[in-house]
Amino acid sequence: MRSFLFRLIGILEIAGGFYGVTNMLRRLFPLGSMHDNLLALVGMLLFGFILVAGVMLVEGSEDGVRFSRIAQLLQLPLIATPLLTYALHSGAYINVYATVQAASRLGIDWHFGSQNFAWAATGPGVSRLGINLLALLSWLVLRFR
């Protein structure tokens, strides 16, 4: 069972990392503003790291387990406030979040076969704070083997 779960996590990391790197390359060219280029480069580095972690995990490397744990921790938080936005997922996500406004509510959002990277000093009008449950579960599987 452990081997199956490690391979599944690795496959999601490889697929999401590759898709993320190619998407960030597409955002990088043609060259735009300095801010857009910086965001694309940071995203490319993050998705490249996730891709390498997934390949190493599928190969059975102990470093792959350690890198994949870090990759899952990077995907854990979901922060979308007017002051700061950060979200990262590679391969799949199951986000549980709370909107922070006068009438707060809980929500769940999920998608498989996708990638996303959002990092900005601004954000939406309605704030959201949450966690990626799939990243948390993957981190726990990698942690308690």
* Number of structural domains the chain divides into: 1
Q: What is the pLDDT of residue 35?
A: 83
Residue span of the structural domain in which 118 resides: 2-143
pTM: 0.90
- For 89-113, give the DSSP string: EEEEEEEEEEEESSS-EEEEEEEEE
Distance CA 2, CA 6 (A): 6
Say what the pLDDT of residue 47 is: 97
Distance CA 121, CA 69 (A): 26
pLDDT at position 33:
83
User: Measured between alpha carbons, how far is 53 from 46 in angstroms, rounded to an integer?
Assistant: 11
The pLDDT score that the predictor gives to residue 145 is 67
Among the listed residues 88, 104, 80, 91, the one whose alpha carbon sits nearest the alpha carbon of residue 54 = 91
Q: What is the mean pLDDT of each run of 10 residues along the chain (145 residues)?
A: 90 95 90 85 96 96 96 95 91 92 86 87 84 96 86
Q: Which residue has the tokens 């898709």?
A: 19
Encoded amino acid at 37, one letter:
N
